[in-house]
Amino acid sequence: MDTLVRTSAEEINVSLIEFIKSSFKGKRIAVHIYEEEDDTAFLLGNPETKKRLMESVENVNQSLPLKEYSIGEIENILNDDGK
């Protein structure tokens, strides 16, 4: 069984630890702790994504018409990306 608990370090307390212990009593578990990256920082960390986002923001700021895509068009863009 896989269980994912997302929380801040400040929210870890005895109750959480006791819950984990009682839920997995008698079983071996692994605790994987990693620092979640802020969504904005993640998106801006990729130069191509950052460029696209900044262009989109500028288009909105200039009141340019937004382009609409169908689900099929989005799937095609995602499938063709990087090829």
> Does residue 82 surpass a pLDDT of 60?
no
55-83 mean pLDDT: 85
What residues does each domain of the chain span?
Answer: 9-80
Distance CA 31, CA 35 (A): 13
3-class SS at 31?
coil
Report pLDDT digits (tens) over 13-57: 999 999 999 999 999 999 988 888 788 888 888 899 999 899 989
pLDDT at 81: 60
Written in H, E and C, the secondary structure of 34-70 is CCCCCHHHHHHCCHHHHHHHHHHHHHHHCCCCCCCCC
> Does residue 83 surpass a pLDDT of 60?
no
